[in-house]
Amino acid sequence: MAFCREVGTPVQQFVTRSDLGCGLRGLHGEAGVSANSLWPNLAGQKRDYLAKQLKAFRDQDRVDPMMNAIVQSLSDADIEALAAYYSSLKP
């Protein structure tokens, strides 16, 4: 799929990693702007908020079957990288 190609910087490559990036980019768009009205835009969102929510989904403190599955194997460092990446995008 086009949005799963590896591109650009190491962080962009991380986000496009096939085991992780396809899920997140499919849900939340190429540039952090979701195509589905039920899925939030992430571009420009608060970094600490994004990290907190990713940890909550991983640890199942926030319940969403799709998100819980997609992020279940993330390390804290992975989460910090993703939060930094999405928060850096222009909304």
Q: Cα separation of 27 and 3, whole Å?
A: 11
* Selected range binding its own copies among 10-18, 19-27, 55-63, 71-79, rule: CB under 8 A: 55-63
Considering just the CA atoms, what is the radius of gyration of the chain in Å?
12
- Residue pair 81/31 in contact (Cβ under 8 Å)? The answer is no
Footprint (CB under 8 A) of its own copies, residues 5-34: 34
Number of Cα atoms under 13 Å in the Cβ half of residue 76 = 1
- Binder to its own copies among 15, 21, 45, 86 (CB under 8 A)? 45
- Assess 40 for contact with its own copies (CB under 8 A): yes
**Which residues are near its own copies by CB under 8 A?**
34, 36-41, 44-49, 52, 61-63, 91
